[in-house]
Each structure stands twice: as structure tokens, then as C-alpha cells.
Structure 1
Amino acid sequence: MVVTKVKQIKSVNKLSDGLKYIEDGAKTIGTELIDSNLNFPVKMIGGQPVSQLVSGNLVIDVESAYSEFMMLKQLANLEKGRPINNEELLKNDVLAHHVIQSFSPEDNLTPEQVHEIGRKTALELTGGSHQFIIATHMDKGHLHNHIYINSTNSITLNKFRWQKGTKKALEQISDKYADLAGAKILEHKNQFGHKEYSAYQKENIFKLEIKSRLEFLLKHSTSLADFQEKAKALGLAVDFSGKYAKYKLLDKEQKRNTRDSTLSKKGRYSLEQIEERIAKNEIVHPLESIKDEYDKEQAEKAEDFEIRVKIEPWQVEHETNTGIYLQMQYGIANQGTVKIPSRLVDKQEDGSFDIFIKKSDFFYFINPDNSTSNKFMKGSTLINQLAYESGEYILTKNPNISKLDLLVKEYNYLVSHGVSESDQFYELRDRFLEQIEETQESLNRLDEKVEHLNKIASALEDISSDNPIDAKVAYQILEELNISSSVNPKEIEKQVVEVSIERKALKEKFDSIIKDFTQYEKLERHAEARRQSPTLDQKPKDEVER
């Protein structure tokens, strides 16, 4: 696996000493002579010529890299009207960026492969217009690169701007070339957890996870003590000592507690409502299995998807053990690649791929020619662009399908444990009814969307009609709908098919749920009849004596 670190060099002495350190022969001289177009320096060891794994970009002699770095900076100072020794006068000026790129012995990469990964990473990050020296160290238990990048651009003489997203760009570029070489790539657990996102967004990520764990606990706790014990098992700290209930994730980088009032405006996670809710539960997962059951449910949710699209082989630039790299356009004149992890990909026998993603997923777009264009894109943007380029249908899984599936699973769990007359069962019934109503509304909205699209398609067809009246009416309709007459009718027809497929799948699920709910109502009526039927103990005393 590859791990990157970055340090900024802010003094001429540290730049000079740092370049000497990374080029140290005891660390960089290998055991063989390597035939490479990088022209590695050749050293004589024991009478045998061997290569020193040090190379440079826009540097004539790697051993004089410090002088060449400083000469470029002096030229920039003269061009920009600064003192020629400006770097010696300023204390906080960044002279170079020191990138450390470390690899695991388990990757089984050669020193030359590691060096090449570092070289390609630095070239893509800088666009090739910055001087840099890369040295591969072999003196420790793992191979690692040291890369010194001159902050001064050789063409524009401007400084390389290390911005908020530059570290993420470096990591993604490094991961790409390491992945292509066969190294293990660290999987980021948090789909949303991109460090350069604001603290507000990070806090909301914590809130989503806290709510997920609380919802599970609300269904699988029978008392406040049981709730607190199981919360601890799920890595959730619970504090009911103050005016507000407070929560904190113990297995995440959450620094401050989160109040219940910030999780739900209706007070769903307050002490009072928690006690009221869990008092209804009769059958729940025991403490010893609560963590496994929660992890199981989360794994099922992670495997769920919202959108599926077919990817043609020509769209795939690289295929590795960890995923596929797709060619795509992101904006005007911005060509690059996006990696889709293998867990979201199914390869088909004909060489094509089906990818399954969620609209809220994030993917990282890499422009190999301009790293400043690298950026995150949402799943919805990615899928629309890929489908547009390939012409394939976007198959959307309506979110109500997953919600209905979860309710059915809860229903089967209660019934299988003989729970059909409790408050827990009736609470599930209420959620069932709400979800059925929500699903029906979604079906109605999809019907309206199909009708809307068909109206557009019909108008687009009529604008080319020989009948001037039909054409005039068509233009009026398109103007009312705020649709350009230049829209391709085929694209609208494609959307009609996609929405119709989504509606068909939801309708089929809805119909099957209605059947299950009918069975549920029969059980409820049977239970109600038993409750109302007088038992022996309820009969009048004289009737019992007779």
C-alpha cells in the first residue's frame, strides 16, 4: 500500500540539506545496473557498476539540484522585480514541497517500479513544468520515495499553489499509479469523509452515523439500561445527565458531543421519547449479538444502490484488482479518469461492466494534464455523464423499494418470534401505512413525470410538422415548459424509457407489499378478536360456578 506525506521547505539551508539527505548514496544505491531512459547515476561498488535511484525533471545534473533550483528562483526574482536573494530575506516563503511516498513490502514492487510511480505522480501533480528531484530509498524495511518539488514554475516563474485540495489530488494520483503497478490501495471507510470538506459537513456526517445507530437501538432495546449497554457496544457514548441527551461516536474523530435537538427537531432522540419508544419493544436482538446484527444491516445498506448503468469497454482506460478507471469528460475541455471501486462493479461476459452507485456517493475526477482541474463529483453527475457518452439507459432504483424491503424484514422478524399483538407490532403497522402512502405518492409523481416527458417529446416532433399550426402550438408548448427546441427528441425518449422502468419496478414491489400487508391485517384482526373474546376469568362469577 502507498502512504503519502508532505512537508513545506521554507529556508535555503533546509532545502540544501534536504536535497543532500535524499540523495545519500547509502540510501539510494542499489545492487544492479538498471537500463533506464532516466539515466540513473552510475556508481562503482566493489568494482561493479550499479545504479543510484535518483532522477530529476528539468534538472541537468541531479547532484547540482540545489544550485539549479536557486538559479531558477533568482531568475524569477529578477523577472518579478524582487531582490535577487529574496528567498534568504523571507522567513515563511515556501521554496519547495517535500513529498514522501511510502510502500509496503507486501506490494512486492521493485525499487525501479517504486521510483517510476513517484516520477509519474510528481509529473501529473505539477503538470511537468516544475523542477523536481526524486530519490528512492532502500535502506529501511520498506521502499519509499523522497520528492523535492521546486515551488517555482519553470515556464511562468509563478509559485506552485499548495491549496486546500492539493493533498487530496496528490493522494489520488499516487493511488492511481500505485494501483496500476499492483500495489495495495487503502480503502477509505467513510464515503463522504473527504478531509478538505468543511467542519460543518463533517459534523453532519457524524450526525448521520449517530442517527443510524440510534434508530437501530430504538428497535432493539427494552429498557434504558439495555439501551445504554447496547449503545456502548455500538461505539456510541450516551449522556442523559443534563437538559439534553448528548451523543458521541467513540470510533470516529468526533471531538464534541452532539445534542439530541440537533438530530431531530421533533425530539425523537430525547430521553423522554427514547423511554417511550423502547417501552413498546418485546423482542429485540440480545446484547451479545447487537454489534454483529448492526454491522450486518449496514453491510446490506452499503450493497444497496440507487442507479445502475452499463459501461462499454471503450470507456474503461484501466482495469485493476481494485476497480476500473473510466475515461470521461467533466466540463469544457476537461478530459480525465474516474475510478469506480470493484465493490460497485460487475463485469459481464461480453467485456462490458455494470456499475451500481448512489446519487450521494463521491468520486474523484483526475485530469492527467492539469491537476488543478481534479475535483470530486457526485454519483448523480458521474452516472449522467457516462450514460450520455455511451447512450446507455440509466436504471434508477426508487428509494422507496429499499424502505419497503426494510419494513418487510422487520415484519418477518416480529412474526417469526410470535410478536403480533404488542405495541411494537402496532408501531410497525403505522410505519407500514405511512410508507405505503409515501410510495403511492412516488408512483403518482413518476406518472406525472412520464406524462410531462411525453408532452415534450410530442412537441419536439410537431415542430418539424408540415402543418404550420401544429408547429406553432408545439413551439408555444416548449416555451411554456421552458424547453429549448434544439433538444434532441431521442434524449427525451430515452428519459421516458428510464422513468417507465423505474416506475414498473416500484409498482411491482408496491403490489407485492400490499399482499403482505393484507396478510398482516388478517393477523391483526385475528389478534383483536382474541382480545375482545371473553375468557373464563372474565365471565360472570355465577356463570363460572354453574
Structure 2
Amino acid sequence: MERNLRMISDRISKMAGAKIIEKRYSYRDYQKYRQSSHKFELKQRLYFLIQQSKSFDDFLEKAEQLHVHIDFSQKHSRFMMTDRAMTKPIRGRQLSKRNLYDKDFFRTHFVKQEIESRLEFLLNRVNSLEELLLKAKELNLTIDLKQKNVTFTLEENGKPISLSHKKISDKKLYDVNFFQDYFKNKEVGVSYGLENLQKQYHAFQEERDKEKVSTEESEEAFKKYKGQRDAIHEFEVELVEHQIERLVDEGIYIKVSFGIKQSGLIFIPNYQLDIMEEENHKKYKVYIRETTSYFIYNKENSEMNRYIKGRTLIRQLTNDSRMIPYRRPTVESLQEKISEINLLVELTETDKKYQDIKDELVAEIAELDIKLTQTNEKITTLNKMAEVFINLKGAELSSQKLARYDFSKLNLTESISLEQVNEKIGVLQEKLDRYLDEYESLVRRLETFAKIFNNNKNMYQKFQENVSVE
């Protein structure tokens, strides 16, 4: 019956030219999928294996240890988890829309890893581009510089694999300009010969990979990894209607702010969203992980696009923001009229000239603007520190590595804790809220003041005349 009604409804909608919206894939659906899906479990295992493997061969060896059987012999790669009740294999193309998860995908990942590792090792040990090219060949890496582009060819087990500079790293662009600028600005250091170069690189590799688990430890390490991922707090936040900018088939756009007069849109996909129908309205709940990064899109100015951490977004949406919250205008026309009268009364009592009052207001606003900016910058720095502490304890190795770098860059010490940082953020937030209230009050006064005297220059004079007549 329900199916027939749906078919009739769809047909009428098509005839009317309306778009048919399929059933949304909600957060509750996603949780059921996570618990029962072989595909989700397989992707978790593969991600863990990629992070913990030193090479393609090491990846295959550890995959068997995690009960993942991989078949690259056919047109499409196939995966079976031998410790789960799977009736048929999962093809690589089913795991991702962007990547095929085939043999080339995994090989390319580890080739990129090795090329970047060699560059990191060599750049600190050479003083010129010519020396780099020579020593790279000693490590089976050929660097071919063209007019703008660079091609890297790594030979492993007698098989060369070539990649362009755009595919090597997410952190650096190893193009021609990079190498030219690097050696132009590099101070000349000690130049090492070719002797023992491979031995030194092998020691460098061992140091790089020392945190990766062995094959025997893989299964136990994966259980720990899953436990850590599941332990990451996922917060449920209920939205009110004014926070929702737009509802689309794939999710919702919500409006957030990240500074004074700086705002943008964040997209929340359906799998992080629940929409519940109630009597007279809909209830929207979003589920946000504090360690996830969300992209803020500013449609007026692309230079204002940026990322915001889940922990900051949660505070934004629950009005416990560690940044300046988005506030909707609340002044009604009646209140504006009252403000105008109050202002005129104030002028009458104080007997101050318009220019003097305007100058005072502008000076106060400028002073508060400086305080707001300084306080906001301090909060931003503290938020960055808090993110570092969270990522240091996170499950993803890439986040931990970046966090260790930021820990050093921010000059943090072991004596500082996340609790202390959050306490400082709370104190500054109270101060920021107080400054913001004063700032908004002054701006409203100035706007009302300008409106009265710019649009109605004779208003004050008429008001005085009316008072004297009465």
C-alpha cells in the first residue's frame, strides 16, 4: 500500500515538474550501517593498514594478519574478511567514489610515501640542486625538472613508477620554483659524500617507522585503534530554525561566525543529521565530533574560507562559543523610536553638540574594537593549543604527527594541560562577551544617532519647539 502511494505521489510530482526527494540517509541510519556493514569495517581496516604499513609488501602482510584477503588478479580488486560472515567479496570500486582501491592505488600511496621520505632526508644533506639530483639517483630516485613541472621516478624491485610533483605531498608543492627558492635561501652546510648514503637513509627510515606496529602486533593494535576512534566524543546539538541557512537533498547548510563581522556557511551531511517531524514544526539535530574539521564557506569573499574544528563549532551552535557568536538583530521599529526619543532627551539634558557626541562614540567603538580583536586573537591561539592537546591523544597518526609539530611551534611544555587551557579560554570568553555587548550597544547608538541627524536634521529643533509650546 505504502509503495503504491509513493509511486502515485512520484508520478504526480513528475507531471507537475517537481523534484522528487529520496528518503534521507539520516544519522540513525548511519549508526545502523556502521554496526552491521562489512564495507564500513573493511574501510576501517584498510585505513589502519595504510597508516601502519612501511611499504606495499608490508601492507599485504599485515592485511593477512587482520584477516583481510585481497585479490588483485582480476579486473576489479576484491576484498574478503575471513573472520566475518561474508557471503561475497567487496570490490574496490564499491569502497569509494574517488578511489578504486585497486593495486595501483595502494602502490602509488607507498611510492608517494617513499619519494617524500627521500626528499625529506636528502634536502638537509645537500647544498645544490645538482647534488640533490646525484644523491637521489643513489637512492633509486630520478628527479626530472622541466620548465615548471617536476617528475619523480622511483625504482623498486626493478620496476620504475613515475609521479608528477602535484601528487607527491599534501603539505608541499615540489615544483621547479620550490627547488629554486630552497637552494637560493639555504645556508651552505656540511656536504656528505655518497659513502654510506644508503645506510644512513636506512637508519632514517627506521626512525621514521619506529611508531608503526609490527605484523604480529597488528591485530591487537587495530582493536585499540577502533576503541580510540569510538571513544572520540560525538556531541548531539539541537538547532533552532534561524541557524539553518538552507536545506538540500544531501544535508543542511548552517550559518556560523568566526570573528568580528566574519561569518560563513558549514555543510552538515545527512549522516550527521536527524530531522524529526513534530506537531507544528521540525526538529533538527546534528552530531559533531570535536576532532573533525569543518569547512567554512564565505560566499561573498573566498579569501575568508577556512576550517573550524568540531569543538569550536559545537560551542558556536550551543551558544557556549569560544569565538564571537552569531547574533541575530533584535531591535524592532518601536524600540528604535524609543531609542530616538531617549537620545533626544539625553541631548537636551547634557547640552552637548552633535559632533562632540559622535566623536566620543566613535572613539569608544574604536577602543572596544581593539580590545575585541586582541581578546579574539588570544582565544584563537588558546583554541589552537587545545586542538593540539586533543590531537596528541587522537587515534590518527597523521593528526598526532602534525600535533607534535604544532606543539613545538607553539612553544608548549609538558606542564601545560588541556584543562588549564580551557579554563583560560573560559575567562577570556566572559571578557569577550562583555566587550561584545558594549560594542553592539555603542554601534546601535551611533547608527540611531546618525539616522536621526542625517535623515532629519530639523528633528531636534522641532522637538524643542514642541516642548516649549507645551
> TM (normalized to structure 2)?
0.30
> TM (normalized to structure 1)?
0.27
Structure label with greater radius of gyration: 1
